[in-house]
Amino acid sequence: MAFRFSRRISLFKGLRFNLSKSGTSVSVGGRGGWLTFGKKGTRATVGIPGTGMSWSEKIDSPAPQQSTPTFSLLGLLVQLISLASILLLSGIFIYALFMTASKQ
C-alpha cells in the first residue's frame, strides 16, 4: 500500500492552492467546473454538483524534459502563490499569538 498526501488550501472563492506528495498546483473555477494548472499540464474538470459525478480531461501537457533548465512562467506563479500563502498564514499566526499574549 502506497502513502498518499494531498491538501487543498482555498486562497479565496474560486482559487485553490493544491499541495501533494508529487508537487503543487493551482486550481481556478467554481461549483461544477475547475481548471487545474500544474507541472503535469492543465486539466479541466466538470461535474454535476451534489451527485459525485464528474469528468476530468487533460487539455495541455507539458513539453518533454530537456537537459538544460528552462524558465516556466506557470512554475514561477505557483511558487509565488505558495510563498505568499505561507507568509500570509505565518502573519495571521503571529498576529493571533501577539493578541493572545497582550490580553494576559
- Per the CB < 8 A criterion, the answer to whether 24 and 18 are in contact is yes
Confidence of residue 1 (pLDDT cuts 50, 70, 90): low
pTM of the model: 0.53
pLDDT at 27 over 70: yes
Helix or strand holding residue 5 (H, E): none
Q: pLDDT, tens digit, for every residue of 61-73?
A: 666 666 655 667 7
Q: Identify the residue whose cell numbers are 481556478.
A: 28
Domain segments of the chain as ranges: 6-64+71-103
Q: What is the mean pLDDT of residues 40-46?
A: 87
Q: What is the pLDDT of residue 64?
A: 66
Q: What is the pLDDT of residue 14?
A: 86
